[in-house]
Amino acid sequence: MAREEIAMMQDNIFLKIIERKIPARIVYEDDHCLAFHDINPQAPVHVLIIPKKVIPTHADITEADKELLGHLHWVAAQLARQLGLEKGYRLVLNCREQAGQSVPHLHLHLLGGRQMHWPPG
């Protein structure tokens, strides 16, 4: 991995939120992940669920991450109930820039509170 990529991973905005260097409206936290409201919401409810472990993209997951990824999905289901998304919600995980990933730290988008359309874009 290039030195620039390592520096970028160690200095991403999500790590700053985890370390409380940048404020966020946190809705959930445990030893493995953190969830907070997106500052640029694309739906009435838009929460980001991030692992505390830095995994740059979905393409970078390993067998050792299986339990963590399952946990992120469990947290998403719990938050959907807590946030009143009984009518439905969408989970989005973008992988790399062409798919819309703008922060080099794997994250789930929990979106709800309005009718979702297909295809998404």
Considering the candidates 71, 107, 109, 117, report the single residue annotated as catalytic: 107
Between the two ends of the chain, the Cα-to-Cα distance in Å is 31
DSSP 88: -
Residue 116 token pair: 């979702």
Residue 37 annotated in active site? no
Q: Which residues contact 41 (CB under 8 A, 6 or more apart)?
A: none
Task: Cite the active site residues.
Answer: 107
